[in-house]
């Protein structure tokens, strides 16, 4: 199993998450240096994204990226990082529900924060069972 080829989905997951991260970093740098002008409402939203309130989101996102890197290198540990991502997102959602009250989240939010990490957990678990992840 030493020269195991990466399944196509591993490549797709890696390109999706790291490509998205690269675009987010580029966008952040361009905003920081003034290449993109944001209106007052967008600027406030952007600044709140980097506030103390959202540090938990950044920790969960870091867990997702570490899990993706480990998945690319076909390591079992990816499963645990994806589980941490899922649990972290569920805890953040519960906290927001308690603090901000009951609001129906948008479909994309549910898909990105709960469903996607759940699928990543299940997929990495299946790769462990197939002995692809070591």
Q: Rounded CA gap, 80 and 96, in Å?
A: 24
Predicted TM-score (pTM) of this structure = 0.80
For the segment 64-85, the average pLDDT, to the nearest whole number, is 96
> Given this model, what pLDDT does residue 88 score?
92
> What is the structure's pLDDT at 50?
61
Place of tokens 């993706």: 68
78-115 residue pLDDT tens = 999 999 999 998 888 888 778 777 666 677 777 788 89
User: Within a 13 Å sphere around the CA of 107, how many CA atoms are in the beta-carbon half?
Assistant: 0
pLDDT-derived band at 7, boundaries 50, 70, 90:
very high
Joined tokens for residue 35? 């290449």
């Amino acid at each position: 199993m030493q020269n195991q080829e990466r399944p196509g989905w591993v490549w797709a997951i890696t390109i999706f998450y790291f490509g998205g991260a690269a675009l987010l970093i580029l966008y952040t740098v361009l905003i920081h240096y003034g290449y993109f002008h944001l209106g007052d409402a967008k600027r406030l939203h952007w600044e709140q994204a980097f506030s103390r309130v959202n540090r938990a989101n950044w920790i969960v996102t870091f867990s997702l990226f570490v899990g993706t890197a480990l998945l690319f290198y076909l390591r079992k540990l990816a499963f645990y990082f994806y589980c941490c991502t899922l649990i972290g997102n569920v805890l953040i959602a519960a906290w927001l529900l308690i603090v901000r009250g009951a609001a129906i989240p948008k479909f994309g939010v549910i898909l990105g924060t709960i469903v996607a990490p759940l699928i990543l957990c299940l997929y990495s678990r299946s790769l462990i069972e197939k002995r692809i992840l070591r």
